[in-house]
Amino acid sequence: MGRRKTGEGRYRSILAHGRAPGPPRLAPGATMRRSGAWRVLVTLTLLLGLAWWFDLDGVAARLVAMRPGWVALALGLSVIQVVALAWRWRFTAGHLKVALSFGEAWREYYLSIFLNQVLPGGVMGDVSRAWRQARARARSDVGGASGPAARAVIFERLSAQAVMTTVALVSLLVLPAAVGRRSGPMVFATVAAASVIVGVVLIWGRRQFSAASPTGRVLAELASAHLSPSVFAVQLSSGLFIVGTYLATYIAAARAVGVETPFLVILPLVAPVLMTMLIPVTVAGWGLRESAAALLWGAVGLTAADGVTISVAYGVIVLVGSLPGAAVLAMGRRGTGGT
């Protein structure tokens, strides 16, 4: 039996061949089992190390005593966030001529978030969503081709990561100012240079690849969904709004555990911490996110234990906020007789 593709490999296959590979399975073989077990081991190792280093009882006590009002606000923000994510995915799919109702996008997104929370790697929910969309279109002549349907998922996630990465980089640059050092000119210069570089790369790519080639088609679809003048402003504004909900949820988690660090000090710390969750070496970013928070909080002279506690609270809130996806999964299994 040949080696099965991992989640990251499925993304590459969809982009390269214009179609989704075989379905992702929860236990597809020895390679996937080893990969999942390794990520679980990394997660547990990091969490146990943090528990040994910090006062676990103190962290637990603060989590148990979380302020209900702030928790409710964070959960409410998660609902708004999923609505915005589903809307942006539908908008992106529409520009690839893929028909997607808002209800379907909303349900699929909740399921994707839940799977990302409970499966190792943090991307299998998105991979599963891309595969299901491609399969649905392959089985029907209605709603667009399977390749664009899958790529709509990928483009939407790449867009989200690009905006979060930009915000994280800017956050790191303004962080010295938040703790008393000037960095405004550096921020402006870096953002301007990055914008020029991205523009040059995109223009070069459009000219290098024929529109008839697979790569050319992908670039043309990417431009149609994100870069044309009529959609760029929408994609950028929606991306910034969604990133704003992530940042606001994290700050609400901080207030929920009693951390009263000034808003303008804590804000630049959030995006760099959340960026670590994109590294697919743990389960839903657990352990890695808390380690990054401890290091970053300590590096700027704040209490590292506060960073860890906030990060754990955020992880719990995100997991609870993803539970509607478990209901979607359960209803889907009942609808297919549990298969």
| Percentage of the chain modeled with pLDDT above 70 | 70
Whether 2 is covered by a domain: the verdict is no
pLDDT value for 176: 73
Among 315, 271, 322, 78, CA closest to 163: 271
The answer to whether residue 304 is domain-embedded is: yes
Q: State the average pLDDT over residues 128-154.
A: 75
170-191 pLDDT, tens digit per residue, is 887 887 776 665 555 545 544 5
- Better-predicted residue by pLDDT, 2 or 94: 94
Residue 222 or 141, more confident: 222
pLDDT of residue 133: 81
Q: Range of 218's domain?
A: 7-15+32-335
Predicted confidence at residue 334, as pLDDT, reads 58
Task: Give the pLDDT confidence score for residue 33 in this predicted structure.
Answer: 63
Decide if 1 is inside a domain: no
Check if the beta carbon of residue 224 is closer than 8 Å to that of residue 96.
yes
Q: Please tell me the predicted confidence (pLDDT) of residue 274.
A: 92
* Residue 24 within a domain: no
In a domain, 116, yes or no: yes
In a domain, 26, yes or no: no
Residue 101: HSE in the Cβ half-sphere, 13 Å Cα cutoff = 4
Q: What is the pLDDT of residues 302-338, one digit of tens each?
A: 899 999 999 999 999 999 999 999 999 988 765 444 4
pTM of the model: 0.79
- Determine the Cα–Cα distance for residues 205 and 186; give it in Å rounded to an integer: 28
Tens of pLDDT, residue by residue over 200-258, are: 445 544 544 444 445 556 666 666 666 777 788 888 899 999 999 999 999 999 999 99
**Which alpha helices (DSSP H) does the chain contain, by range?**
7-17, 30-53, 56-64, 68-94, 102-118, 124-138, 146-178, 184-208, 214-222, 229-256, 263-275, 288-299, 304-321, 323-335
Angle, to 10 degrees, between the axis of helix 102-118 and the axis of helix 124-138? 140
Would 49 be classed as within a structural domain?
yes
Mean of the per-residue pLDDT values of the chain? 78
Mean pLDDT lowest among 69-78, 146-155, 193-202: 193-202
Q: How many CB atoms lie within 10 A of CB 244?
A: 14
Is 226 part of any domain? yes
Residue 138 has pLDDT above 90, yes or no: no
pLDDT score for 313: 97
Please tell me the predicted confidence (pLDDT) of residue 269.
Answer: 92
Number of domains, the chain: 1
What are the two backbone dihedrals, phi and then psi, of residue 283, each rounded to the nearest 5 degrees?
-90, 110
220 close to 155: Cβ distance less than 8 angstroms: no
Q: Write out pLDDT tens, residues 75-115.
A: 999 999 999 999 999 999 888 888 889 999 999 999 999 99
